[in-house]
Amino acid sequence: MKKYLSIASFIIFFITLAGVITFYSDSGSVKRESAIFFIWILPTIGLILGIFGKKGFFKIGGLIGHILILTFTAVIPFVVTTFFWNTP
């Protein structure tokens, strides 16, 4: 069962990566309203699945991928807008 959690996390990582790239390339196929699904919800689900998955390549690949996506799409923009762009 744990093996399937790791594989699901890895697959969710590639779905998330495709969604984020499509969103940021501004090709118009991903609506702005559905961006939160690709930027926050899917990586969080994949991260949780990866934590409970079996040790191996899929677990490490999924965890590193989801952490990087969450870092570049949620954490860095939050820090920049909070601490550096706080003047009108």
Q: What is the pLDDT of residues 11-32, one digit of tens each?
A: 999 999 888 888 878 766 667 7
User: Length of the chain, please?
Assistant: 88
User: Are 9 and 49 a contacting pair, CB within 8 Å?
Assistant: yes
Give the model's pLDDT for residue 29.
Answer: 66
Give the model's pLDDT for residue 39.
Answer: 83
CA distances from 4 to 22, 46, 77 (A): 27, 12, 32
Give the model's pLDDT for residue 27.
Answer: 66
Quote the pTM value: 0.82
Burial 34-72 (b: 16+ CB within 10 A, else e): ebeebbeebbeebbebbeebeeeebbebbbebbeebbee
User: Are 42 and 30 a contacting pair, CB within 8 Å?
Assistant: no
- 27-75, pLDDT tens digit by residue? 666 677 777 887 889 999 999 999 999 899 988 999 999 999 999 888 8
Residue 87 has pLDDT above 80, yes or no: no
Residue 8 has pLDDT above 90, yes or no: yes
